[in-house]
Every structure is written in C-alpha cells, then in structure tokens.
Homo-oligomer: A and B are copies of this chain.
Amino acid sequence: MSIHKDITIYDIAEALNLSPATVSRGLKEHPSIRKDTRKRILDKAKEMGYRQNFFASNLRRNRTNTIGVIVPRLNSYFMSAVIAGMEKIANQAGYNLIISQSMESVAKEIVNAKTLYNTRVDGLLVSLAYGTDDISHFEDLLEKGVPLIFFDRVFDHPLCTSIVIDNYKAGYEVTQHLISQGCRRIVHATASLKRNVYADRLKGYKHALSDNGIPYDEKLVFINNLSEQASTEVCKTLLQMEPRPDAIFASNDAFAVNCIRELKQAGISIPQDIAVAGFNNDPLSKVIEPNLTTVNYPGNEMGEVAASTLIRRLDLQHGTSLNTIVLRHELIVRESSLRKPKV
C-alpha cells in the first residue's frame, strides 16, 4: 500500500511553467484566464491526480462549505425524506452535510450546537427537540453571522427563517373531518406544546370544536412523548372514560397506529366505536388495518426548501428574506375514520 504524497497546485504550476496563482484560478472559473491555459491546467491536474486541499482553501477563505443539521431523530420516514431532500440540494451546490441527532434531549441539542459551532459550519438547519425552551445555545452561531434556518419544529427569531406547514389548519381539518363523521368526543394526543407543530395543531383542534359548538374538554387532550408506552397509557385511560371518547386525533402516525393496535386488542372496533386519525402520512399508515386517515407532510420538499433557502443566503450574502415559508399539506382520508359513506 503505497501512500503517495499529495499533488498541490505548486506541482501543477511547476509542470506547466506557470505560477501557482494562475493554476489556482484555472481550477476555478475565474474570468480572467485564457481558455486554453485553463484547459491545460485542468488536464494536467487530472493527469497528476490532483485533489484540492479544502483545509488550506477553507483556512484562507474562512469558509467551510459545510452545513450542519440537527434533528430530533433520524428514525422516521418523514425525517429521512427531509434529509434526502437536503442532501440533494446541498450536494448540487457543493456543500456537505453534517447531520446530528438530539434524540429529543435538550442537553444533547446544546452539545450538538456547540460541536457544529466548533466545526465552523457555514449554516445551520435545525428542528428542535421537545423540551427546548430558548435558543441561547445558538446565540454564538448567530453572533458570528452564521445563518440558521428552522424547519418543522421552529422557533420565532428575527434572524431566522422557518419552514413549516400550516399546522393550525391541518389540525383544524382533521378535527373537522372527524366531526363530520359524527364524532363528538375527540381525544387529541400530542407532544410538548413548546413546539409549534403541537401547539398549532391543538389550536386547530380547539377551533374546529368551537366552530361546531362542541365544548372543549381538557381531559380529552393528552400531552406526552408519543412513545409506544404513552399510547398504551392513553388507551387505558380513554377506555375507562365515561362516556367513552369516539375518536382519536394523534399527532403522529406511529402513535395512532399503536392506539389502533391497542384498541383492537381491547375489542374496540375501528372506526365504528372509535375513529382514528394520525399525522405525517408515514408508510405505516397504509399497513395498519384499517388504513389510517392522516395528513400528508411534504418531507422531501421541506428538506429541499430548507437547504436551498439556506444556500441562497450563503451564496448571495442575501440579507433579508422571508421569515416563514409555508408548505402545502393535504388531508388523506382512509378507513380508520370513515363512519359515513364518502361524500
């Protein structure tokens, strides 16, 4: 295994009897370089097996061409779609992604932010953990002028753009749909209201109830971490309620699916006894029986939009930009909530 020394622009310059500066320019798309010398340089570079040393370049230019990503978890269909979208855009634009997971822990999120700060990422794409109260751990980055873009679980900050869907509207639509199916005692299971996605859906839920003259009953709202265990507990509680709830609107599909499994095991029939709706349009939703009513969440698009917004800002030193970008969602009605013939 021979470990050859790396070829530098000096080697190319020497071989071509040029100055390193010219070679450096030739390797890029510098305007003031003759076309044929550029070609000679490129050819020689390939011939000699040259590869750019990004560290030298980064050191010099004070830029890393790296984008940091912090997500709660990587293990959902939604999140892999987001990442795939980001990767596509980032790679096209010559950026690398460094992905890290907070595992829903504020502490880990803080560590991640610090690591990315030290790595000197050019920009940051973040979806917040359940418990995050403030974004002081990103202050250092922001002070350095590193653009920060939130997606999905966002935070209101004058310097940061947010990419979201209209969670309020989606929550309203799901609830309205359940009501239209004849449900009146609708459980809403969701997670930390510190996060816009959950708070907004809850608002939509409440608003739909009131628009239909159904009183809001806080006993029907369950705030938890949407884990499997939580679904078990919610179902147990719910089955003991009197009168029994006739629908569940869960803030993600995994939770909804677990509820369906749990309830079916308890002899409840879905949707006749209890109708169920989820959120995200995870492939799971088409595996569970009955198939799950849910909200399509454009993960891939969200990743692409987040990345391209960031990169635009990076490349053009683009000062101001939209503060919030709202992507389109879509209610998908399936059997788990269909008690009446489809209109």
Chain A interface residues (CB < 8 Å from chain B): 1-4, 49, 51-56, 58-59, 64, 73-75, 77, 80-81, 83-84, 87, 91, 96-101, 103, 115, 117-120, 140, 142-145, 159, 254, 257, 261, 283-284, 286-289
- By a CB distance below 8 angstroms, the chain B residues around A3 are 143-145
Given the interface pairs A55-B64, A59-B56, A96-B98, the reply to whether A4 lies near B143 with Cβ below 8 Å is: yes
User: 15 pairs across A/B with beta carbons < 8 Å?
Assistant: A1-B143, A2-B143, A3-B143, A4-B143, A4-B144, A51-B118, A54-B118, A54-B119, A59-B59, A75-B77, A75-B80, A98-B98, A254-B283, A284-B287, A289-B289
Given the interface pairs A4-B144, A143-B2, the reply to whether A87 lies near B101 with Cβ below 8 Å is: yes
- By a CB distance below 8 angstroms, the chain B residues around A87 are 100-101
Q: How many copies does the complex hold?
A: 2
A77 to B159, CA, bound (A): 35
A254 to chain B: closest residue by CB: B283
Task: Check if B145 sits within 8 Å of A257, measured CB to CB.
Answer: no
Given the interface pairs A54-B120, A119-B54, A142-B1, the reply to whether A83 lies near B74 with Cβ below 8 Å is: yes
- By a CB distance below 8 angstroms, the chain B residues around A2 are 143
Task: Check if A99 sits within 8 Å of B97, measured CB to CB.
Answer: yes
- By a CB distance below 8 angstroms, the chain B residues around A140 are 49
A87 to B99, CA, bound (A): 9
Q: How far is the CB of A130 from chain B (nearest CB, A)?
A: 17
A74 to B332, CA, bound (A): 25
Give which listed residue, B117, B159, B287, contacts A51 with CB less than 8 A: B117
A4 to B142, CA, bound (A): 11
Give which listed residue, B58, B59, B80, B101, contacts A74 with CB less than 8 A: B80
A170 to B52, CA, bound (A): 45
A283 to B117, CA, bound (A): 35
Give which listed residue, B51, B100, B118, B284, contacts A284 with CB less than 8 A: B284
Q: Supply 20 further A-B pairs (C-beta < 8 A) apart from A1-B143, A3-B144, A98-B98.
A: A49-B140, A51-B120, A54-B118, A54-B120, A55-B55, A55-B56, A55-B59, A59-B59, A74-B74, A74-B80, A75-B81, A84-B101, A87-B101, A96-B115, A97-B98, A257-B287, A283-B284, A284-B284, A284-B287, A287-B287
Task: Check if B56 sits within 8 Å of A159, measured CB to CB.
Answer: no
A142 to B1, CA, bound (A): 8
A55 to B254, CA, bound (A): 42
A89 to B98, CA, bound (A): 15
Q: How far is the CB of A150 from chain B (nearest CB, A)?
A: 17
- By a CB distance below 8 angstroms, the chain B residues around A4 are 143-144
Give which listed residue, B56, B74, B261, contacts A84 with CB less than 8 A: B74
Give which listed residue, B74, B97, B145, contacts A1 with CB less than 8 A: B145
- By a CB distance below 8 angstroms, the chain B residues around A100 are 87, 91
Q: How far is the CB of A304 from chain B (nearest CB, A)?
A: 14
